[in-house]
């Protein structure tokens, strides 16, 4: 469990204060430009292509470029493979489509394999009792790895199941996942799991498969932030690495960096805000505020380029609650430039707040990233 670190996190949230009115939460993010800060970095970054969108590949390469370390693509269980064990024409077609995405980022980019749930999982890969046909499932994984590597990409990580706690995806059980991961032991890649949809389900899946895992993982589309942090602690206490294999909102990596996760893979496009955080977090963190009940957080980093960056985010879907943050510089007059636009900077005197709303919108409740550069005007002793 979270122990001393979790208690300190809760006390920090209380000390910075909050204002609640009509269900809204406002927190103060106080920072000092003179502080050296702390190292809080995520060092391994991926882009997801299990949902293939070439526009996303183009923009991700444009904004993140060499910061992208791997691409996560699907292996396909939507139709049977051939009688001789080779992949079907439809499976190869889908792999080629995903690899085209990867090639748009880098022709030699390392690959992470994961089930492609969007195309569906055929009952042919399942037994009548709902468990997985291990021989068939594993054969597709192995043949997909061989195909990808024949195309010039090295497979560096694998998920045997993706979101197995959501029954719509037609996965098997914990024993099936454990057996599949064990079969991958001699691949020489990082075995990642359980990759549950809800962080609230991660612990019970993990307990059954941890002996055949190299990296613990979960998505955060369900469950609480407290459960998420507790699960990260469990995995790190087991001396395993931690991956967030499908990041939907910036808050996931703001919190993840604080909790010591090792890698993260973006769902959808790596936009300017995401790419900026990828670079900024390699520097030093000057301020961090978390609102666990809202699945929201904000931070200030000094990037390796010496520039100050602020970020605020709330999680997607029903577990994210809109939160406002007042950024306050304790020692200097500063300008806050939303989206890095210095021509539209908002000037604030020392101690005056700059208000940012971290919210979600739309039918699918999409998380809206807020980020800005911070330009000091003077420094007071």
Fold of the domain built from segment(s) 3-39+282-376: Immunoglobulin-like (2.60.40)
Which pLDDT does position 276 carry in this prediction?
98
Confidence of residue 218 (pLDDT cuts 50, 70, 90): very high
Q: Judge contact between 217 and 165, C-beta under 8 A.
A: no
pTM metric for this prediction: 0.92
Strands across the sheet with 323-329, in order? 18-21, 24-31, 323-329, 353-358
Q: How many whole angstroms separate alpha carbon 280 and alpha carbon 283?
A: 6
Q: How many whole angstroms separate alpha carbon 262 and alpha carbon 154?
A: 20
Q: Where do the H-state alpha helices sit in 106-173?
A: 134-150
- Burial degree of 83 (CB within 10 A; 0-12, 13-18, 19+): exposed
Q: Where do the CATH 2.60.40 domains begin and end in the chain? A: 3-39+282-376
CB atoms within 10 A of CB 198: 19
The highest-level CATH class for domain 44-280 is: alpha beta
How confident is the model over 128-141, as pLDDT tens digits? 999 999 999 999 99
Q: Where do the CATH 3.20.20.80 domains begin and end in the chain? A: 44-280
Mean pLDDT of the chain: 93
Which pLDDT does position 366 carry in this prediction?
86
How confident is the model over 314-336, as pLDDT tens digits? 999 888 999 999 999 999 999 99
């Amino acid at each position: 469990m979270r122990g001393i670190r979790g208690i300190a996190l809760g006390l920090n949230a209380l000390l910075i204060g909050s204002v609640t009115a009509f269900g809204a939460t406002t927190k103060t993010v106080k920072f000092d430009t003179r502080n050296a800060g702390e190292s809080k970095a995520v060092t391994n970054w991926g882009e997801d292509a299990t949902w293939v969108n070439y526009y996303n590949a183009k923009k991700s390469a444009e904004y993140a470029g060499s910061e992208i370390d791997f691409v996560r693509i699907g292996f396909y269980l939507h139709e049977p493979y051939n009688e001789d064990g080779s992949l079907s024409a439809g499976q190869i077609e889908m792999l080629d489509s995903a690899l085209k995405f990867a090639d748009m980022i880098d022709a030699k980019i390392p690959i992470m394999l994961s089930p492609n749930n969007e195309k569906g999982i055929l009952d042919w890969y399942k037994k009548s009792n709902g468990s997985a046909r291990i021989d068939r499932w594993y054969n597709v994984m192995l043949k997909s790895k061989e195909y990808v590597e024949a195309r010039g990409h090295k497979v560096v990580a694998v998920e045997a199941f993706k979101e197995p706690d959501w029954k719509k995806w037609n996965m098997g059980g914990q024993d099936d996942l454990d057996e599949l991961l064990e079969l991958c032991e001699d691949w020489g890649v990082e075995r990642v799991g359980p990759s549950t949809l809800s962080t609230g389900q991660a612990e019970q899946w993990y307990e059954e498969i941890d002996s055949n895992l190299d990296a613990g993982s979960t998505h955060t589309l369900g469950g609480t932030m407290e459960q998420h942090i507790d699960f990260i602690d469990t995995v790190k206490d087991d001396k395993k690495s931690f991956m967030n294999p499908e990041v939907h909102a910036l808050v996931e990596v703001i919190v993840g960096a604080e909790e010591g996760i090792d890698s993260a893979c973006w769902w959808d496009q790596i936009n300017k805000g995401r790419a900026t955080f990828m670079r900024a977090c390699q520097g030093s963190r000057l301020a961090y505020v978390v609102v666990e009940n809202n699945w929201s957080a904000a931070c200030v980093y000094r990037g390796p380029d010496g520039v100050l960056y602020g970020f605020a985010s709330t999680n997607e879907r029903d577990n994210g609650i809109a939160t406002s943050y007042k950024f306050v510089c304790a020692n200097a007059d500063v300008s806050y430039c939303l989206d890095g636009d210095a021509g539209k900077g908002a000037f604030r005197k020392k101690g005056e707040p700059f208000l940012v709303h971290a919210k979600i919108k739309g039918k699918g409740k999409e998380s809206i990233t807020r980020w800005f550069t911070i330009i000091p005007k003077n420094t007071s002793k």
